[in-house]
Amino acid sequence: MSFKVAIIGRPNVGKSTLFNRLVGKRIALVDDQPGVTRDRREGDGRLGDLKFIVIDTAGLEEAAPDALETRMKAQTDRAIEEAHVCLFMIDGRVGVMPEDEKFGAALRASGKPVVLLVNKTEGKGLEGVYESYGLGLGEPIAVSAEHGEGMAEIYTALQPIH
Ligand code: GDP
Ligand code: MG
């Protein structure tokens, strides 16, 4: 059985950037089935000596507005269900948005282990880190998916769950 890590969060927080960093060129599968699974990507992720399958939940850009919420929820629910641990990402520069609260509630309800990542914190975004404690998902990790900051802290969080 492979250990699965899902990256969860609203659009534009940096999920795919982290996915690309964890997977590098090792994308195992692009699921291009129609409907809710269309934009989902899975890849062989690696962080130090940890190996796992990463699920990137995703690009909702093409969805019709009325279908967006439904589609996002279905895709996210499926990823959470499959995952052994969820990396829940918010944007530290924007802070906690109502949509983040919804994802947070779904994650808490799932009972899955959650690692809270506050992204885009290179240089700034610390207010977002403080604010994220309010999500009730434990200690946040400040990261920069783009610059590769916080990867050792993600490793430390995943290592005991793996
Ligand atoms: P997704 O919709 O959650 O998958 O987000 P993306 O990975 O597509 O990133 C959305 C935008 O945020 C892109 O313009 C990225 O370049 C940018 N981004 C991602 N990670 C970081 C980061 O660590 N710092 C900053 N400043 N921008 C980032
Ligand atoms: Mg994406």
Predicted confidence pLDDT, tens digits, the chain (162 residues)? 689 999 999 889 999 999 999 998 666 444 444 444 456 788 999 999 999 999 998 644 444 455 666 766 777 888 999 999 999 999 999 999 999 998 999 999 999 999 999 999 998 878 999 999 999 999 999 999 999 999 999 999 999 998
Instruction: Give the model's pLDDT for residue 67.
Output: 64
Neighbours of 124 (CB within 10 A): 10
Domains of the chain: 4-158 (3.40.50.300)
Nearest-atom index, ligand 1, CA of 11: 2
Instruction: Give the model's pLDDT for residue 32.
Output: 47
Q: How far is the CA of 152 from the centre of ligand 1 (A)?
A: 19
Q: For residues 71 and 40, is the Cβ–Cβ distance under 8 A? A: no
Q: Using a 6 Å cutoff on CB, does residue 16 contact ligand 1?
A: yes
Contacts of 140 (CB under 8 A, 6+ apart): 116, 117, 118, 129, 132, 133
Angle, vertex CA 119, rays to CA 113 and CA 122, nearest 5: 140
Q: How far is the CA of 37 from the centre of ligand 2 (A)?
A: 13
> What is the Cα–Cα distance from 72 to 63, expressed in whole angstroms?
9
Q: For the chain, how big is the Rg over CA atoms in Å?
A: 15
Instruction: Give the model's pLDDT for residue 35.
Output: 43
